[in-house]
Amino acid sequence: MTVATVLLAVVVLALTTCLVASVVVSRRRAQADRAELARLAEENRALRERSEAAHATAELRSRMVAHVSHELRTPMQAIMSLLALLDDHGLPLEQRRQHLSTLRGSSEDLLLLIDGLVDTAQIEGKRPSLRADDFSPRATLEQLVDLLGPSAHKRGLELRAALAPDLPPRLRGDRLRLRQIVINLLGNSIKFTRQGHIELRASARVEADVAHLQVEVSDTGVGIGPEALGKLFREFARVGDPSVEGTGLGLSISKQLVEALGGRLEVDSDPGVGSTFRFQVRMPVLAAAPAEQAAEADTRPRVLVADDDHAGRELLVTALRRGGYAVDGVEDGAAAVASALARQYVAVILDVQLPELDGPGAARQIRAARGDVALIALTGHTEIDVLGRCKGAGIDAILIKPVKLETLRATIARVAAERMQAVDLAVIRGYVTADDPAFVPGLIDVYLREAERDLEAMQEAAAGQEIARVAQLAHRLKGSSAGFGARLLAERCQSLYAAARAEQPASDELAAVAREFARVKSALSVERTRLISS
């Protein structure tokens, strides 16, 4: 091997070594670069996540503030409305006390909201925690109409209620959340209605001691176009008139609360015509109110107003409520009958010219079943035949339009008091003489003894299908009862007499006679004792 060959081999080896070393260094440098890039990417990702988390926290804080603001406004609206009502210096003392009681309840609701407002589950979109209250759905909804009425009237709007007469008296569920939903819906309708009315409707279907409570809020407002309905229930969504104040949260919160109660909030709307929001929730029906809540029940005397003229009806309803009455309103005779037979009223006010079933027709059906309710007719007619039809239907008083509200209230008080009395004691006391103090107690003994005998004979005759005998005895008891001032018992006997003469089933009329006689017997026995001891 020559020297040149050896030198060439050495050079090649050196070059190969350098090349290998260069490749190794390059690979190590590339690995280091990749590691650095990965580190930088991880840092960038961490920075991005921290930035997104900070943004989400800020957004969550803003949403929480908006939720807090909106939910606090609900009871605050009630408190402000009640304060406005209490500012009326002419308000009767009893009604002022009722408003103060409601104000106390709204303040308690506000405290409950503050206690449970920062509910993480609710803020994160989960279901809010629910309470279980025993409450009257009718009283709760009527109270909301009273609360928001001033806000509606201030805008020249009519806020009215159409609550089904067969609403369950007591339910178990979250009363506070139900109030929030309805206040949100009513407030929303008031904001977006420029003229006309807002109506709160409620009905219930009861199955296996569970009420399917359906609530609707309708208005004659601006309405909502089809393109806006899809985003109506989104948070912070603003549809409709942009000049109307609001956060866009009311309907979103209402939707969440309805779903938390197991229902679904729906809407029908026509632009320029109005909107109807409705929801249905399920709540257990309670047979009776607990003793601790019985004292809180609405003890105001209740009046029913039946008039197809919306403006006239609402005027009467508002005036009577301010006079200390609890008031229901219906627009036709059939509804008046259904409501009067389902609820306990001290008086029913009937417009004579009602649709479906006129005032005298409705009065006749009510009087056939109820002798303790005062019936008052309102009419613009003074014809003898109209007045005669009213009297013949069992109407106690007829008032000619226009009637002063003071006259109406005085008539209700007078007639209701007369109807509540089993016996007009002035009649009995008119027989009292100083010469023979035992005379009237003796008369009472004779009347009660003969009336009990006639009642027993009527029951035996009815059991034996002796209809003519029932009619004869009913007619006799009617006469003697009227002579002793037992007007309601005399009317019950007249109804029994009429049914027997027509050969119609009269078991209900006979039972009514027996019930009323028990009241008469109790009243006369007390009066007899008083006369003997005086």
- pLDDT score at 235: 52
- pLDDT score at 68: 56
Q: What pTM was computed for the model?
A: 0.43
Least confident among 53-67, 219-233, 272-286, 318-332: 53-67
Question: What is the residue-wise DSSP string for 106-151?
Answer: HHHHHHHHHHHSS-HHHHTTSPPP---EEE-HHHHHHHHHHHHHHH
Residues 174 and 151: their CA atoms lie apart, in Å, by 25
Residues 215 and 201: their CA atoms lie apart, in Å, by 6
The confidence band for 279, taking pLDDT boundaries of 50, 70 and 90, is: very high
**pLDDT of 205 strictly over 70:** yes
Domain 425-533 has CATH 1.20.120: yes
The confidence band for 56, taking pLDDT boundaries of 50, 70 and 90, is: low
**pLDDT of 111 strictly over 90:** no
Q: Which fold has domain 302-420?
A: Rossmann fold (3.40.50)
Highest mean pLDDT among 63-77, 119-133, 267-281: 267-281
Higher local confidence (pLDDT), 43 or 448: 448
Least confident among 27-31, 102-106, 120-124, 513-517: 120-124
- pLDDT score at 237: 47
The predicted-structure confidence for 30-40, as pLDDT tens digits, reads as follows 777 677 777 77
Q: Specify burial of residue 275 (Cβ count, 10 A radius: 0-12, 13-18, 19+).
A: buried
Highest mean pLDDT among 146-155, 462-471, 512-521: 462-471
Q: Which two tokens stand for residue 518?
A: 């028990």
- pLDDT score at 16: 72
Higher local confidence (pLDDT), 152 or 79: 152
Higher local confidence (pLDDT), 247 or 526: 526
**pLDDT of 123 strictly over 50:** no
Q: Specify burial of residue 53 (Cβ count, 10 A radius: 0-12, 13-18, 19+).
A: exposed
**pLDDT of 223 strictly over 60:** yes
Least confident among 70-74, 257-261, 318-322, 349-353: 70-74
Average pLDDT, stretch 230-244? 53
**Cβ neighbours of residue 374 closer than 8 Å, sequence gap 6 or more:** 346, 347, 348, 396, 397, 412, 415, 416, 418, 419
The predicted-structure confidence for 287-336, as pLDDT tens digits, reads as follows 654 443 443 455 678 899 998 877 778 778 877 887 778 888 888 888 88
- pLDDT score at 533: 74
User: Using N-to-C axis directions, what is the helix angle for 507-533 and 467-483, rounded to 10°?
Assistant: 30
**pLDDT of 119 strictly over 60:** no
What's the chain's average pLDDT? 76
Across-strand partners of 268? 276
According to CATH, the superfamily of the domain at 128-289 is Histidine kinase-like ATPase, C-terminal domain (3.30.565.10)
**pLDDT of 106 strictly over 70:** no
The confidence band for 116, taking pLDDT boundaries of 50, 70 and 90, is: very low
Domain boundaries, the chain: 128-289, 302-420, 425-533
Average pLDDT, stretch 187-198? 86
- pLDDT score at 218: 92
pLDDT above 70: percentage of residues in the chain: 72
- pLDDT score at 216: 93
Classify residue 1 by its DSSP letter.
-
Average pLDDT, stretch 216-223? 88
**pLDDT of 247 strictly over 60:** no
Least confident among 53-57, 116-120, 166-170: 116-120
